[in-house]
Structure formats: C-alpha cells, structure tokens
C-alpha cells in the first residue's frame, strides 16, 4: 500500500488551480535550468503537483526554450492565424442588433456572399465562442443594453462611512402608488435627505405633483431642525450630494446652502452609484412599504399600462403622507440596516459623539426663502407679481422701502423685511384673495377648456390610412363627394381674413406730381388728379380755408 506522503499532490487540487500553477512552475524550472541546477527529481515533483506526466513537463520546457512566450501559458493550444476573432466590424454589428448574435451571424453571411470572390463567414457556434472569448461580460451587456447594463458588471469601491452629518444625500422619487388627489389618481413624489453615516432619514417632503425647489426647501427645513416633530436627527451637514437636478441647483436652494455653510457636491449625470445611500433607500421603500399599499402600480413592460383592480379604493393624499411618515419613523427607530451591524439608525446616531450645528427655526425659515428684490410700501400695500399684499403691521408705514422674500409657489403670503436695516417687519397676505369655491370653479373651467381643446385637436389629427400588404404609397381613407368638398372649402375660405381682403377693389389715388413713382406702380393707381400732401393745402386754397362742398360731391 502507498504511504500517505506519496499520494499525488495534484490529485487534491481543483483543475483550475492546477492550470493556474503551470506557468509559475515552468518558469521556476527554467530558472533552475539556467542555473544548471535542474534535475529529473524537480521535473517529477512538478508533474505530480500539476497532475500531468513527466514527459508533458519536459515538452513544456522545450517549447519555452524555443519561445519565451510559451512559458506564460504552458500547454495552451497554439493560436492559428485562421481563428475567427471579434473585429471592430463585429462589435458594431453587435451594438446595431442589441447583442442579438443570430442577427449578427445573418448579417455576416450576407456580407460574405456579396464579396467577390465570395468570402467565408463563421458558423454560429464559432461566433458564440469568439464572443465569449474576446468580450468581457460587461462589454457583452453594454453592447446589448447600453451603459446602464454594462455598469452592473463593474466593481465599485465603498466609501468610508465617516461620522454623522458629514455627508447627506438627497433625491426626488416618484412613488409607484396611485393616490387620490382632488378626485384624480396621481403618483406623488417624495423628496428626502439621508445621512450617509447612520442611514437615517433626516428630512422628507411629499408633493402631490412634480416637485420643485419648494419641495427641496421644505425637506431641508425638516432635515435641519431637531425640535419636535423633526428630531432627534438634524443639524447642519458638512456636504450634500445632488445629482444635477435643476431643483437642487436652483438659485434659491444654492443660496440657502451657501448661507448655511453647506458644501454642495454636484455629481455627474447618470451616476446613481455615486449616491448609493439614497438610491438604496429608494429601492428599499418600494419593496418594504409601497408594494403593500392599495393602488401600487407594478412596474410593467415598456409600453404597457400597470394593471390594478378597477374597484380598488385608493388612499387619499393625507392618508398616504401619514403612512409614509410612520414608515420613516419605523426606519429610523426600529429597522436595522445591514451596514449598521445590528443597530438602528437612531442607535448609530446617538452613539456618535460628533457635535451638531443647529440653526434657530426663525433664521432657517429666512434662509430658505427666495428673494424678490425691493418694493415701496404704498397706501394699497405692497405690489408683487401684479397683486397687492397687505398686513396689519403696515399701518403708518407707507412710503418706506422694503425687501420681499417668499416661499416658491406659495403666492398667498410673503415675508417683508426693511430694505436698509434688514429687520423683519412681518408677513403680508394677498388682498382680495379668492375663496375656495371660486378657486375650485376656476380649476373646473380650466380643466373643461383643456379637455375640449384636446378633443378638438384629436378630431383633426385622427387620420386613417389603408392597410397594405404590398409596397405602395399611403392612401388616406375617408371618402368625400364633390359637393361636400366644395362646401367645406367654402366654409374654410369664409373664415380666412386673408381671403376676405380685397386690395384691388378700390385702387389707390395717384401720388403727387413731385413724387418719384416707379412706372410699374403708377399704372395701378386710379385715374384723376393726383392726391395732395396731407400737410399741404390744396392748390389755389389758403391755409385754414375749408373745402368747397361742391368739390366733395355734396352739391345737389
């Protein structure tokens, strides 16, 4: 019986490991031969370790002696010049056909048949093998699905977590849940800030329709304030990462960050991996919370509508906001994200001794308002956006210069400051503001007008063409009689002002004799005596003398 020490070492190694050891083993044997220390015992040990025969190892050494490149991959099959490889032409066809190898093969066969003399195209199996050999998984995915698909095969470094309020990330997200908003089913938007060190949601704002800079400012206030009901998370961060959104980079938001001494890091476009904390939150809220809500619009295939029961009762906007805030509280106080290793965001926040920078609520409100310049306070109040704003504090203040700051899209109130000292004077409300019933009536009228206009446009654009199964010019459907065509054209001509104009019915009068008139225009004037200058008296009449009635044809 063989001793355990004589058992082949190569028999216990995986095939991939033995293949990886071939190159280093052969190079070591070559070094021994160069130093005249190579013996048959060395070759025998190497053969046992690699799981091959001694003759094979001697053959690898002979090949490496003839060509040093053979020592890199001993035993590899020699590459012939006729082997098919992926060329730039094939890469272009793969991109054109979105990674469809069979379509690329058909194209190569057609091109080979058109060559003179006809060339040879690779078989489908050879093409598949060459693609797997010459292209990386990321390249294959990128040629089929673009940059986003290729990015899934990349390797990304993990940022150090840092400390609380070192870096925040912010983003908009349209939730895949239909919510009843003023009688219509809409998908609201969420704007939130999250702390990268503790995974805590520091601030959130919900918008019924598409968000704006007002949504960012509202979420920022809730993120910075630490008093109830926003605490205990908050304070001023050192940096905020944004993804080139126009709302986050607007003048008002940028000015607010500058005044609060917060650095804004504008990330390149289409790089969600650079703000992975908030992107992970966007994915988590859908799978952990939104998917269980009524009205969840499951992501359909492109071009398909999201299927949901017709009798499903949708949440109101108030109910959805309350449920979302409750889930946010659960995430911060009970959920244990994997990066925190068994701790909740609240525990991670409280365990961090980093001091916090707080801002008074009144100052924060001022920082997050948009500046509208200076105005003069008159007896009618303050004129802003062609409307008057008044406040009780304005009594006896008419004539002073004031500076206006306001919350974007909140037109019912403005905040007024003294233009010289900057002292806060007070709020001003819109004068003669419409009632809720009037606003609802105006909205209904606008909606009805929009639907009527849309219907009129669609009735004109709905042109139908005949279906064909042979190459032919498009044939418009909808037969008309001659009388119908003439009636419709007459109706259209009767409504066109250009057709109603008759410039040649009454020719213009001849110009005065002292004017230089081109002959082509002089022949188009009415016969008779030439017209006089408007500012000059008629021939034979003194200035101020009235015309004789007989000259105007008034004599009987």
Q: Are residues 40 and 113 located together in one domain of the fold?
A: no
Q: Which two structure tokens, joined as six digits, stand for 239?
A: 């940096």
Burial of residue 457 (number of CB atoms within 10 Å: 0-12, 13-18, 19+) = exposed
144-184 pLDDT per residue, tens: 988 888 888 888 777 788 899 999 999 999 999 998 887 88
The terminus-to-terminus CA distance of the chain in angstroms comes to 152
Measured distance CA(414)–CA(417) in Å, rounded: 10
Q: Are residues 247 and 291 located together in one domain of the fold?
A: yes
Q: Are residues 104 and 16 located together in one domain of the fold?
A: no
Kindly give, in sequence order, each residue whose CB lies less than 8 Å from that of residue 162, ignoring residues fewer than 6 positions away.
196, 197
Burial of residue 268 (number of CB atoms within 10 Å: 0-12, 13-18, 19+) = exposed
State which residues form the domain around 49.
4-71
Task: List, edge to edge, every strand of the sheet that includes 201-207.
Answer: 201-207, 189-195, 167-174, 239-242, 263-266
| Residue 92 φ then ψ, to 5° | -65, -40
Of 207, 203, 206, 238, residue with least CA distance to 332? 203
Q: Are residues 106 and 55 located together in one domain of the fold?
A: no
Q: Are residues 55 and 137 located together in one domain of the fold?
A: no
pLDDT of residue 535: 46
Residue 449 in domain: no
Query: How many domains is the chain built from?
Result: 4
Whole-model pTM over 0.85: no
Residue 469 in domain: no
Q: Are residues 322 and 222 located together in one domain of the fold?
A: yes
Measured distance CA(224)–CA(207) in Å, rounded: 19
The β-bridge partners of 383 are 388
The yes-or-no verdict on residue 121 having pLDDT over 60 is yes
Q: Are residues 390 and 241 located together in one domain of the fold?
A: no
Q: Which two structure tokens, joined as six digits, stand for 485?
A: 């065509």
Contact 226, 356 (CB under 8 A): yes
What's the whole-number mean pLDDT along residues 457-474? 56
Residue 103 in domain: yes
Q: Are residues 181 and 327 located together in one domain of the fold?
A: yes
pLDDT of residue 116: 67
Q: Which two structure tokens, joined as six digits, stand for 511?
A: 């110009």
379-418 pLDDT per residue, tens: 888 898 888 888 888 888 888 999 888 776 566 778 888 8
Strands 239-242, 263-266: pairing kind? parallel
88-113 pLDDT per residue, tens: 999 999 999 999 999 999 999 988 88
Which CATH number characterizes residue 298's domain?
3.30.420.10
Contact 383, 248 (CB under 8 A): no
Distance of CA 66 to the CA centre of its chain: 59
Q: Which two structure tokens, joined as six digits, stand for 24?
A: 């280093």
Of 197, 179, 196, residue with least CA distance to 188? 179
The β-bridge partners of 171 are 192
496 pLDDT tier (thresholds 50, 70, 90) = low
The yes-or-no verdict on residue 9 having pLDDT over 60 is no
Q: Are residues 261 and 345 located together in one domain of the fold?
A: yes
Residue 513 in domain: no
Kindly give, in sequence order, each residue whose CB lies less than 8 Å from that of residue 477, ignoring residues fewer than 6 positions away.
464, 465, 466
Q: Are residues 290 and 421 located together in one domain of the fold?
A: no
Q: Are residues 180 and 305 located together in one domain of the fold?
A: yes
């Amino acid at each position: 019986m063989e001793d355990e020490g004589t058992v082949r070492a190569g028999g216990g190694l995986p095939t991939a490991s033995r293949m990886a050891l071939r190159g280093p083993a052969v190079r070591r044997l070559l070094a021994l031969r160069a130093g005249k220390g190579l013996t048959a015992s060395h070759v025998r040990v190497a053969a046992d370790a690699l799981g091959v025969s001694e003759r094979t190892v001697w053959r690898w050494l002979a090949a490496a002696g003839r060509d040093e490149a053979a020592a890199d991959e001993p035993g590899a099959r020699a590459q012939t010049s006729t082997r098919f490889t992926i060329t730039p032409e094939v890469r272009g066809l793969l991109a054109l056909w979105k990674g469809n190898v069979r379509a690329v093969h058909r194209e190569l066969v057609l091109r080979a048949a058109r060559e003179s003399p006809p060339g040879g195209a690779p078989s489908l199996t050879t093409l598949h093998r060459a693609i797997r050999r010459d292209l990386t998984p990321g390249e294959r995915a990128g040629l089929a699905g673009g940059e986003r698909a290729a990015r899934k095969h990349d390797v990304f470094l993990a940022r150090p977590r840092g400390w609380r309020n070192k870096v925040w990330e912010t983003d908009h997200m349209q939730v895949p849940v239909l919510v009843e908003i003023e009688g219509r089913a809409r998908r609201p938007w969420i704007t939130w800030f999250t702390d990268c060190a503790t995974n805590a949601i520091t601030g959130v704002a919900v918008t019924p329709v598409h968000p704006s800079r007002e949504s960012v400012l509202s979420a920022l206030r809730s993120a910075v304030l630490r008093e109830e009901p926003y605490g205990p998370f908050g304070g001023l961060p050192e940096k905020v990462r944004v993804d080139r959104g126009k709302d986050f980079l607007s003048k008002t938001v940028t000015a607010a960050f500058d005044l609060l001494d917060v650095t804004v890091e504008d990330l390149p476009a289409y790089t969600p991996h650079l703000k992975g904390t908030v992107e992970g939150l966007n994915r988590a809220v859908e799978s952990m919370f939104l998917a269980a809500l009524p009205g969840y619009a499951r992501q359909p295939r492109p071009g398909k509508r999201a299927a949901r029961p017709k009798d499903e009762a949708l949440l109101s906007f108030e109910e959805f906001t309350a449920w979302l805030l409750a889930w946010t509280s659960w995430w911060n106080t009970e959920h244990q994200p994997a990066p925190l290793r068994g701790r909740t965001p609240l525990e991670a926040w409280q365990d961090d001794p980093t001091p916090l920078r707080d801002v008074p609520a009144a100052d924060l409100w001022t920082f997050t308002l948009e500046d509208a310049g200076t105005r003069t306070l008159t007896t009618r109040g303050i004129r802003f956006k062609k409307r008057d704003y008044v406040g009780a504090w304005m009594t006896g203040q008419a004539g002073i210069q004031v500076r206006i700051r306001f919350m974007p899209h909140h037109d019912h109130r403005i905040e007024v400051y003294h233009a010289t000292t900057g002292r806060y004077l007070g709020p001003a409300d819109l004068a003669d503001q419409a009632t809720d019933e009037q606003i609802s009536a105006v909205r209904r009228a606008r909606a009805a007008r929009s639907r009527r206009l849309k219907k009129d446009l669609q009735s004109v654009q709905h042109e139908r063409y005949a279906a064909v199964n042979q190459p032919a010019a498009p044939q418009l459907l909808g037969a008309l009689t001659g009388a119908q065509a003439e009636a419709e054209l007459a109706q259209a001509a009767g409504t066109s002002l250009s057709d109603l104009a008759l410039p040649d019915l009454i020719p213009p009068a001849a110009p005065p004799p002292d004017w230089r008139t081109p002959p082509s225009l002089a022949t188009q004037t009415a016969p008779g005596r030439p017209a006089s200058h408007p500012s000059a008296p008629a021939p034979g009449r003194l200035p101020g003398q009235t015309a004789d009635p007989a000259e105007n044809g008034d004599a009987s």
